[in-house]
Amino acid sequence: MDTGRTTAAVQRYLNELAGVRGDQPSEPIIRELLAGAASRLRVLCASLLHRSYARLERPPLSLHSDEMLSAVVERLIKALRGARPTTVAQFFALANQHMRWELNDLARELDKRTPVAALDEAFAAAPESSASSLSPDARRILDAIDRLPEEERETFSLVRIQGLTHNEVADVQGVSTKTVQRRLNRALMLLAQSLDDLRP
């Protein structure tokens, strides 16, 4: 994947979107923008799903990254009718937020599911491990991440949750690797402060 080409294409469509006025249709530009960003969005979806929500890939949900990408694109189409990110970093921050919202919603729905009928004991599945649902501490951690300032939240998510390198994050955000490191350090400091009681 050519990150530089993706960045240039996304910025071009963002500029076009910013120029839409009055009754001009924005939907075609939004769809072209998402098509231009599709390769990067696919990588981000797959990375976040595999690294942090692997249980959603297993039955009964059996979520695939392409299915997640489709849902995220639908969210972004709706969001971009009102939101107008002006930079590539703002666009991917918006996309990243909707990825986490989509996966968190699916995780909560999965946690709420209960068997609709009793199964014969011989065919009953083994009880799910405690890791199969979000614990109160896990929910606190996710909430603390959501409360981080925008730049620190995006950087933390891209590096620590989605597994991108500092150089890749710098390309996505259009900043230097030193800025990525500074934002990550600040995010870690803020999380340590808000979650201090969870330290072992």
**Per-residue model confidence as pLDDT tens digits over 3-41:** 667 788 888 999 999 988 878 889 999 999 999 999 889
Q: Hey, is 8 helix, strand or coil?
A: helix
**Per-residue model confidence as pLDDT tens digits over 70-106:** 999 999 999 998 888 988 878 888 898 899 899 999 9
Q: Is the model more confident about 33 or about 50?
A: 33
Give the span between the Cα atoms of 159 and 104, in whole angstroms.
Answer: 19
Which residue in 18, 72, 26, 69 sits closest to 46, CA to CA? Answer: 69
**Mean pLDDT score of the chain:** 82
Hey, what amino acid is at 125?
A
Identify the CATH number of the domain defined by range 135-200.
1.10.10.10
Spell out the domain ranges in the chain. Answer: 1-87, 135-200
Whether the per-residue pLDDT at 133 is higher than 60: the answer is no
| Averaged pLDDT for residues 137-162 | 84
Give the span between the Cα atoms of 155 and 172, in whole angstroms.
Answer: 10
Which residue in 64, 2, 77 sits closest to 35, CA to CA? Answer: 77
Whether the per-residue pLDDT at 151 is higher than 60: the answer is yes
pTM of this structure = 0.66
Q: Which of 116-120, 129-133, 141-145, 161-165 has the highest mean pLDDT?
A: 141-145
Instruction: Look at the block and give the residue holding tokens 């969005």.
Output: 41
Give the span between the Cα atoms of 189 and 109, in whole angstroms.
Answer: 31
